[in-house]
Amino acid sequence: MKITKLYIHDFQQFRDFELDFTDPKTGRPLERACLIGRNGTGKSTLLSLMSFSLQGQPQRGVQGFPACFGVKIVDHPNSSWLTALSSDKSGCHLLETSDNEFENHLHSGRATVQFSGYTSIAFPSNLPFSMKRISSRLESLDALTFCPADDPVLDTGLPSTQLNNALPLFKNFPIYHEVGGKASANFRNLLIYLIKKRESDWQEFLNLPDNSSRTVAEVQNKFDKNHPEILKFLAEKWDAILEPAGLAFDYENAKRPVQLTENLEAYVKLLSGQVLSYGALSSGIRNYLFKIGHVAAIYFGRQVRNGFLFVDEPENSLYPDFLYDLIGTYQSIIQNTQFFVATHNPIIAAQFKPEERFILDFDEEHKVTVRRGITPEGDDPNDVLEKDFAVRSLYGPAGIRSWERFLDLRHKIQTEPDAAKKKQLMTEFLSIGNNYNFALKNAVPEKAS
Amino acid sequence: MRYLKKQAESSLSYSDPSLKDRIRFRNGIYESVNVSDSEALNLIRYLGWNHESLVRDRTAHLERLRFIREQCSTDSDFAELIRNDPYNLSFITAIEVEFGNLIPN
């Protein structure tokens, strides 16, 4: 299940706005997409709207709802649905219809705006046509995960939780998960559940008739091969993140949790062996570890066939060195999941293909427009900044003044008759050029007209 | 540097006396004299001599020096200028290939 299109008509800064999440070459749905754009262009709103349309609940950060909004979902090549939503005085309506049904309705005279082959309408509160509620369409959804950007930074005091809070997960494992500071207790409940589930699976496995003739050690060995431990799995993921900072996950000390409350505080240690309190970590690393850990736990030991992951500003409070592998890290812990990211960061954006990048901007009437990226995947983030983010200059005011002085010196060196003065100019030219690594090829003199 | 962490270690040492005969600087990049000399290629990779950003820095630096060389009336004027600039030590081999041995040991 993939989102292939999104429509918004007259909502906040969006007028007739369309996002096409298909590959322009193949027409197939994109596996991942990256929303880029200056502040206020609605990246977070778009993530929230998509998440809303899939779960039927308002998301934080969304004030009101579009009068006309649609997300097109594709299950397989021959079958597509459009979810449409409206808000009026009577509230929101979450609907499901086929392309044809939707178009037929549009041609019935209710249309108000012609838009990209479809006509957007404002749905009346008492719908005169038959449409099923979207919930039936989404029954095959396994995991819907939303990581908001404006989550409060986790403080040193970890929220406590109890075994009783984790037990309901045995009966009802939720589809929707919010990940972040506010949801850190859910993460810990999830860890307790996964640990307790493994214990329960072990007891069941031990009592299998096939195992009656084996020693406990043999059965344990067989069980361990097919039942990985969540903390060991997290240790691998977290160690890759922590290693550049000289840290490691303290797997051994975190191995015997009951409530996890105490043990979580001993999860991280210096590579030299000294155990650190969780609170000693920077807030950026703490949040990153918990987000990765929480998403990993949602997918751990499950066969997710249809998932969606929305991550808003994954770069928050992280040193650039952590960002280069960030998208790959998320992708390594999810499966069969369409992955949406909103970011201001060119290092993050560079990890996407140009057709996966959606650059939002304002038109002259301050309405949001969109275009796809240009620079190739893995390009220099500075190129992404210049070409995709359309940042005019990467130099600050002092750098721009130095560039102008560099050009001025270049000209003066060629015309200065006094040898001593010329030498001074050349020394300054080299000094500025070295400091900023200015390239002469960027300073081609203007041709005489 | 970040990119160096992922490079395989080379069995050829930077101080190996055969280095000068096995690695050369040509057209802005370092290359092995023998295309199949994997030790030399590994060392170049390990030390990041041809990393994109370093090649860009080096190329821009050599361009600036070429411009200055054109503006100097004598070799000794040019040699004095670059000798007094410690930044040139970062690119000493490339400078020697481009301009000859102007910086005494």
B4-31 pLDDT tens trace: 444 445 577 777 788 888 999 988 899 9
Q: Torsions phi, psi of A111, nearest 5?
A: -65, 140
Provide the pLDDT for residue A125: 42
Q: Do A426 and B64 touch (CB under 8 A)?
A: no
Q: Do A426 and B68 touch (CB under 8 A)?
A: yes
- Chain A residues close to B56, C-beta within 8 Å: 437, 439
Provide the pLDDT for residue A318: 86
Q: Do B81 and A423 touch (CB under 8 A)?
A: yes
- Chain A residues close to B64, C-beta within 8 Å: 429-430, 433-434, 438, 440
CA A412 to chain centre: 51
Tokens 């509620």 sit at which residue?
A133
Provide the pLDDT for residue A113: 28
Distance in Å, alpha carbon of B82 to nearest chain A alpha carbon: 9
Tokens 């005019």 sit at which residue?
A392
Average pLDDT, chain A: 78
Give whole-number Cα distances, A106 to A76, A96, A111, B7, in Å: 24, 14, 5, 59
- Please state the rounded mean pLDDT for residues A30-46: 92
Strands A143-147 and A176-178: parallel
Q: Which of A53-57, A250-254, A338-342 has maximum average pLDDT?
A: A338-342
Min mean pLDDT across A299-303, A348-352, B94-98 is at: B94-98
Encoded tokens for B42: 């590994």
Q: How many CA atoms lie within 13 A of A71 on its CB side?
A: 24
A114 or B55, greater pLDDT: B55
**Distance from C-alpha of B56 to C-alpha of A428, rounded to nearest angstrom:** 21
**Distance from C-alpha of A229 to C-alpha of B77, rounded to nearest angstrom:** 70
Provide the pLDDT for residue A258: 54
- Please state the rounded mean pLDDT for residues A198-203: 92
- Chain A residues close to B71, C-beta within 8 Å: 413-414, 422, 426
Q: Does residue A308 contact residue A340 with C-beta atoms inside 8 Å?
A: yes
Provide the pLDDT for residue B9: 52
Q: Does residue A120 contact residue A66 with C-beta atoms inside 8 Å?
A: no
Q: Quick: pLDDT tens for A212-265.
A: 888 889 999 999 998 998 888 988 888 888 887 777 777 776 645 555 454 444
Q: Quick: pLDDT tens for B83-104.
A: 877 777 778 888 888 888 665 5
Q: Do A441 and B81 touch (CB under 8 A)?
A: no
Min mean pLDDT across A179-188, A228-237, A429-438 is at: A179-188
Give whole-number Cα distances, A156 to A98, A244, A278, B75, in Å: 50, 22, 7, 64
Question: What is the percent of chain A with per-residue pLDDT over 90, rounded to a whole number?
Answer: 35
Give the model's confidence band at A104: pLDDT under 50 very low, under 70 low, under 90 confident, else very high.
low
- Please state the rounded mean pLDDT for residues A314-329: 90
Encoded tokens for A283: 């807030």
Give the nearest partner residue to B68 out of A419, A430, A441, using CB atoms. Answer: A430
Residue type, A209: P
Question: What is the percent of chain A with per-residue pLDDT over 70, rounded to a whole number?
Answer: 70
Alpha helices per DSSP H over A37-179: 43-55, 99-105, 134-137, 163-166, 168-171
B48 or B12, greater pLDDT: B48
Give the nearest partner residue to A441 out of B63, B72, B87, using CB atoms. Answer: B63
Residue A357 has pLDDT above 90, yes or no: yes
Provide the pLDDT for residue A153: 57
Strands A79-88 and A68-76: antiparallel
Question: A31: closest CA among A366, A340, A393?
Answer: A340
Provide the pLDDT for residue A449: 37
Give the model's confidence band at A111: pLDDT under 50 very low, under 70 low, under 90 confident, else very high.
very low
Tokens 């949790």 sit at which residue?
A257
Provide the pLDDT for residue A272: 63
Residue A77 has pLDDT above 80, yes or no: no
Residues 6 or more apart from B98 whose CB is under 8 A from it? B62, B65, B66
Residue type, A124: P
| A432: nearest CA partner in chain B | B64
